[in-house]
Amino acid sequence: MTYREIAAEFKQLPIGERLLLLEELTRSLRVDLSEVKKSQNGGGFTLRRGMLKPAGSMPTDQELQENYVDYLVEKYL
């Protein structure tokens, strides 16, 4: 069936049956979208997780500020 045929049939159904059909479509979409989301998040996160962890210990706020100032000095002077 095409979209237009389904839409025409849908409009001819009583309200109660349309609501049941709408709930079934919503449920089906929710399941499909959750599966797509799981497949998209599954492998990528484990690869990116290692990129976020710095080598060694985390720099202090003071060290970050000094590095940023040094970067700006080199950039603009």
Q: Provide the whole-model pTM.
A: 0.46
Neighbours of 3 (CB within 10 A): 7
Average pLDDT (58-64) is 89
- What's the sign of the alpha-carbon dihedral 30, 35, 36, 40? positive
Average pLDDT (36-44) is 64
Rounded CA-CA distance 18/9 in Å is: 10
Work out the widest C-alpha separation in the chain, in whole angstroms.
75
Residue 41: the pLDDT is 61
Give the mean pLDDT of the chain: 84
Give the residue extent of every domain in the chain: 1-54
Q: What is the pLDDT of residues 1-33, one digit of tens each?
A: 898 999 999 999 999 999 999 999 999 999 988
Rounded CA-CA distance 33/44 in Å is: 17
